[in-house]
């Protein structure tokens, strides 16, 4: 028992000593060097639950373009004319059609030629129009039920006729094969 206490005390002493020796090396590390972040910007539109990234020669749905940036400033020119400037991200509204955008930051200038379509996707708009048509019944329920009954009866009769015909042919072939004819002189 005395030996067990001695080993436990020795292990505890070594663990604390090792922890104290490693503590200064961990705490003496300096934070990573904060390098200057590059100026980045991107823009996108939204239509329903879909987002469309703005690139040169892109076609997008939605007339509100959201510009996200970490630059000192972001200036947007539309068709060569000043349109907006901001130090932060911004949302701008444009008309439908073909547009030439110039995005200018403190580091670079980029030109975009984009085509803007209405806010709702075409297939989704058509789907919603189809769902707004009042529910019309093209065939009455009574006619449908009577057709189901007649189809069931006709299918039963057809299956019965085919089965009887097949069995009749099998029986006939068996009888013809085993038919013995007596010849009298």
For 84-104, b where at least 16 C-beta lie within 10 A, e where not — what string? Answer: eeeeeebebebeeeebebbbb
Report helix, strand or coil for 52.
Answer: strand
Series of mean pLDDT values for 10-residue runs along the chain (185 residues):
66 69 58 70 86 90 89 90 89 90 90 86 68 71 91 94 89 81 68
- Residue 66: other Cβ atoms inside 10 A: 16
Q: What is d(CA 168, CA 165) in angstroms, rounded to the nearest whole number? A: 5
Structure tokens at 58: 């892109």
Domain 41-124, CATH? 2.60.40
Model pLDDT, residue 129: 72
- pTM (two decimals): 0.49
Model pLDDT, residue 140: 83
Which sequence spans correspond to the domains of the chain? 41-124
């Amino acid at each position: 028992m005395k030996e067990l206490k001695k080993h436990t005390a020795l292990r505890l002493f070594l663990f604390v000593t090792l922890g104290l020796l490693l503590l200064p090396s961990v705490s003496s590390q300096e934070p990573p060097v904060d390098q200057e972040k590059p100026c980045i910007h991107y823009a996108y539109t939204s239509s329903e639950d879909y987002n469309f990234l703005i690139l040169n020669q892109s076609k997008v749905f939605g007339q509100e373009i959201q510009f996200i940036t970490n630059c000192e400033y972001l200036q947007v020119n539309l068709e060569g004319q000043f349109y907006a400037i901001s130090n932060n991200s911004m949302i701008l509204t444009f008309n439908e059609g073909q547009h030439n955008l110039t995005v200018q930051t403190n580091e670079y200038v980029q030109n975009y030629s984009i085509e803007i379509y209405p806010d709702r996707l075409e297939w989704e708009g058509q789907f919603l129009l189809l769902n707004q048509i009042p529910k019309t019944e093209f065939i009455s329920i009574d006619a449908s039920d009577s057709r189901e009954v007649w189809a069931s009866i006709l299918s039963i009769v057809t299956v019965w006729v085919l089965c009887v015909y097949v069995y009749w042919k099998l029986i006939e072939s068996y009888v013809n094969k085993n038919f013995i004819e007596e010849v009298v002189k």
